[in-house]
Structures are given as C-alpha cells and as structure tokens.
C-alpha cells in the first residue's frame, strides 16, 4: 500500500520481533465468502484506530524500553573495542501507528498540506536524519557493530554478528523458538489488500467517488487521489490542498473509514484464527524480550 507520509520506526537491528477493531450493530454475512461485518459499523477516530493484529506488536512504551536497552548494550559492547556508540543511532518510536492506514483524515492538515506529510512529522524525520548523519560510525566501527569484517580487532575477538548480534542474543535470551519476525506485517498487508476487494468497501469507494465528482474531482478511489503523481512536488499545490479538503469531506459523508476499518478488522480476525500458534509465539517472545531489556537497563 503506498502512503504519502514518512514513518518514524523504532530501529532495533536484528532484534525486532514485532513487525507491523471497529464494529457495532448487527452483523451480516457478505456474498462471495467475504467475512461478516457490521451493517452499521461504529464510527472510529482515524487518528487512534486499533486493529486486531496490534495485539501482536510491541506497545510504544515497550519499544522505548527496547530502544534504551539496545542503545545501552551497544554502547557497552562497542566500548570494548574503543568505539563510542551514539544514542541517536536508535531511532525514535513510531508515532503514526494506524492513523494513516486509510489515508488522510485531518481537515486542517488537508487544507494546509494536502496529501503531504504534516510539518511536525517532517521536522522530526529531518532532525533524526541529521542526528544519524552527524553520528555516523566509521567504517571500522561499522564492521565491529555489524560483524561484517574481520573476526578480531587488536587481538580481541568480535562476537558473531558483531555487537548487534551479541545484543540480539542477550535480548532474545530464554526464547526457545524465534518466531518469524515479518508475519504480523505480512498478515496486516494481506488484510489491507483484501479489504480493497470487499463489496462493502468497493461500495463505499463508489459513494466517495460520486461525492468527489460533485466537487469537480474524478477519482475511482481515495488511494488514487492520495497517490496522484500530480501531487509529487516537494510542497503541496493549491489544487492538491483543494482535492484533499474535498476528500476529507467525502470520507465523512460516506462514513468511509468506519466501513473500511470494520472490513479490515474482520479480515485480521480471520488471519489471527488461521495463525494462532505462530502469533502466540510472537507475543510470548515479545514479552520475554521486553523483560530481558528491562533487566539489562536495570543492570547498567
């Protein structure tokens, strides 16, 4: 799914286990084997949407603990070889979540930025990039950090996988079977893609498209507007901002997000049922990982 925004994801090197409902009213079965969804789905706050698969992701608080432990352990390991490891090497916690999963939702931001990322997110990303560039490790230090180089430095053996490998093993301590890290993201992407073909979502897109035509804009779906290459300039144009403003109005008029989120949620529930064992292993591993991280921080 293409999105016109910049994410700020937590970087934990090789140790990140986590990848990546709405409802209400009487449910009815849909044609073509589609999952049952509410006839009148509950309105959701687009900025704070939660989906079933979110249970199998680390919380923002847990991600901060993992970032802190990762940074502390990397600093300790790199120091053994005479290198410093700047805390800014680990990026900040993802602050977007599902808020832009279905596109734009903020009327004021649409008037000011169209489909472009909000300025506050851009400023955070630029500050993060600047910090990482300023504190970029030397080639020799990168070899120690990643283990992609000689196995010794000045007579000291470098851990398998470098300091990142050592930190990974420490934070994964006690986890017998390391689950597939990408499963949650894969299932989330699948539910999104399937939701696009669901009859209820296609109907909502049709209503949205009709609404947009009334304002003079011809798009078949919200993502066609979101991803319009005419809006790819560095700064938004007036036509982009006008389009985005009309988009927001039509989303509200057709209850697009409520319908879309309820369908997406239904597909995710089916995915959880079909992958229960693997997802339970992921969640168990995440809990253990955070416990190890908290213990590591307490010992430093």
CB-CB contact of 64 with 93 (8 Å): yes
144 Cβ contact partners less than 8 Å away, ≥ 6 residues apart: 78, 81, 83, 153, 158, 162, 163
Whose CA is closest to 217, among 192, 179, 250? 250
Task: State the angle between helix axes of 276-299 and 256-274 in degrees (0 to 180), rounded to the nearest 10.
Answer: 90
Written as six digits, the tokens of 259 are 């319908």
Cβ atoms of residues 248 and 107 within 8 Å: yes
The H or E element spanning position 28 is: strand 27-28
Start-to-end C-alpha separation, the chain: 41
**pLDDT tens, per residue, the chain with 300 residues:** 433 333 323 334 335 454 333 333 333 334 447 998 888 899 999 889 999 999 999 998 999 999 999 999 999 999 999 999 986 544 444 567 898 899 999 999 999 999 998 877 777 777 666 656 556 889 999 999 999 999 999 999 999 999 999 999 999 999 988 888 799 999 999 999 999 999 999 999 999 999 999 999 999 999 999 999 999 999 999 999 999 999 999 999 999 999 999 999 999 999 999 999 999 999 999 999 999 999 999 865
Q: Is 209 helix (H, G, I), strand (E, B) or coil?
A: helix
Identify the pLDDT of residue 269.
97
Question: How far is Cα 111 from Cα 144, in angstroms, rounded to an integer?
Answer: 48
Please tell me the distance from the alpha carbon of residue 78 to that of residue 162, in angstroms, as a whole number: 9
- What length is written for the chain? 300
> In 3D, which of 138, 151, 98 has the Cα closest to residue 265?
98
CA dihedral angle for residue 199, residue 200, residue 201, residue 203, rounded to 10 degrees: 80
Whole-angstrom distance, CA of residue 176 vs CA of residue 182: 18
Q: Which of 65, 83, 89, 78 is nearest to 13 (CA)?
A: 89
C-alpha 133 chain-centroid distance: 23
Helix/strand number for the chain, H first, E second: 11, 4
């Amino acid at each position: 799914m293409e999105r016109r925004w910049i994410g700020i994801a937590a970087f934990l090197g090789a140790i990140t286990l986590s990848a990546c409902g709405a409802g209400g009213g009487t449910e009815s079965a849909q044609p073509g084997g589609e999952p049952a969804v509410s006839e009148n789905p509950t309105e959701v706050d687009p900025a704070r949407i939660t989906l079933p698969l979110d249970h199998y992701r680390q919380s923002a608080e847990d991600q901060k603990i993992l970032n802190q432990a990762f940074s502390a352990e990397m600093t300790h390991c790199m120091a053994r070889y005479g290198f410093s490891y700047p805390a800014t090497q680990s990026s900040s916690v993802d602050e977007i979540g599902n808020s832009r999963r279905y596109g734009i939702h903020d009327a004021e931001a649409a008037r000011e930025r169209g489909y472009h990322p909000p300025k506050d997110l851009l400023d955070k990303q630029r500050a993060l990039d600047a910090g990482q560039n300023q504190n970029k490790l030397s080639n020799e230090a990168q070899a120690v950090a990643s283990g992609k180089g000689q196995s010794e430095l000045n007579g000291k053996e470098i851990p398998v996988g470098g300091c990142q490998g050592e930190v990974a093993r420490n934070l994964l301590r006690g986890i017998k079977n390391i689950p597939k890290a990408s499963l949650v993201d894969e299932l989330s992407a699948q539910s999104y893609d399937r939701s696009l073909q669901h009859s209820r979502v296609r109907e909502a897109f049709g209503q949205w498209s009709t609404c947009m035509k009334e304002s003079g804009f011809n798009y078949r779906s919200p993502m066609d507007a979101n991803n319009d290459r005419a809006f790819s300039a560095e700064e938004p144009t007036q036509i982009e901002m006008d389009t985005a403003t009309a988009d927001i109005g039509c989303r509200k008029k057709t209850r697009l997000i409520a319908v879309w989120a309820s369908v997406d949620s239904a597909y995710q529930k089916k995915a959880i049922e079909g992958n229960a064992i693997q997802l339970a292993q992921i969640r168990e591993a995440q809990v253990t990982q955070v416990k190890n991280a908290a213990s590591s921080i307490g010992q430093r």
